[in-house]
């Protein structure tokens, strides 16, 4: 019997990675779509070649690797550029993720988490038995994003606005975890959601 796949998503800088690490500590494998995306644009890959064809050599650093910061600046200030990048990466991410998920769900684990920022935007949650949404208040997310990516407030808000609103994401959730308080409070929520998922999925 293959393990079910549960979605994990949240707004930018809500703290998905922190929550994912807590699930990992409970024995749940996590497939991170961002990590998959990074693999697909490593030097020598067709993914990187197509990105360069679309956006020019300025998106490469001195070593020929993708300059993610330069590319992000382009796509978050230009809706057309963002859609072009998505058309290049999303089909590749979907294929590679499907391959990895098939490997993970064959393992003797209770379930697998698929961590994807655009899970709800792309409608992927509809095919999953449960979706966990990580939330944090706007001020906390803004401060985290500015600190993490070295952005000014305008640039940070532009990236936040590029995603769907919290209400839409929450409406797709079967479970919501707040991650704008003490980490132990977040961990308590993760343990509670984990226990409920085991019951909901019949994996106790």
Q: What's the domain range around 187?
A: 1-29+107-204
Domain boundary among 103, 118, 151: 103
Domain boundary among 86, 103, 120: 103
C-alpha distances in Å from residue 139, one per residue of 46, 77, 189? 39, 21, 21
Residue at token pair 């919290």:
166
CATH of the domain at 197: 3.40.50.300
Question: Could you give the CA distance from residue 168 to residue 134 in angstroms, rounded to a whole number?
Answer: 13
Relative to beta strand 5-10, strand 131-135 is parallel
Domain boundary among 83, 103, 123: 103
pLDDT in tens, the chain (204 residues): 799 999 999 999 999 999 999 999 999 999 999 999 999 999 999 999 999 999 999 999 999 999 998 999 899 889 999 999 999 999 999 999 999 999 999 999 999 999 999 999 999 999 999 999 999 999 999 999 999 999 999 999 999 998 999 999 999 999 999 999 999 999 999 999 999 999 999 987
The answer to whether 119 and 34 are in contact (CB under 8 A) is no
Give pLDDT, residue 188. Answer: 98
Same domain, 23 and 114: yes
What's the number of domains the chain is made of?
2
CA 49 to mean position of chain CA atoms? 23
Same domain, 72 and 127: no
Q: What is the DSSP letter of 30?
A: E
CA 81 to mean position of chain CA atoms? 20
């Amino acid at each position: 019997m293959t393990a079910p796949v549960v979605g994990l998503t949240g707004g930018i800088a809500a703290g998905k990675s922190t929550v994912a690490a807590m699930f990992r500590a409970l024995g749940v494998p996590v497939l991170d779509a961002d990590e998959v995306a990074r693999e697909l644009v490593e030097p020598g890959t067709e993914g990187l070649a197509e990105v360069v064809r679309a956006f020019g050599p300025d998106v490469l650093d001195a070593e020929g690797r993708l300059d993610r910061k330069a590319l992000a600046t382009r796509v978050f200030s230009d809706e057309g550029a963002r859609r072009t990048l998505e058309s290049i990466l999303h089909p590749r991410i979907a294929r590679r993720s499907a391959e990895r998920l098939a490997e993970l769900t064959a393992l003797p684990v209770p379930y697998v988490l698929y961590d994807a920022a655009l899970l709800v935007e792309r409608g992927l949650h509809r095919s999953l038995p449960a979706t966990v949404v990580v939330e944090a208040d706007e001020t906390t997310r803004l401060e985290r994003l500015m600190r993490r990516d070295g952005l000014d407030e305008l640039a940070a808000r532009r990236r936040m606005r590029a995603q769907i609103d919290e209400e839409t994401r929450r409406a797709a959730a079967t479970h919501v975890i707040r991650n704008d308080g003490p980490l132990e409070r977040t961990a308590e929520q993760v343990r509670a959601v984990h226990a409920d998922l085991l019951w909901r999925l019949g994996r106790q």
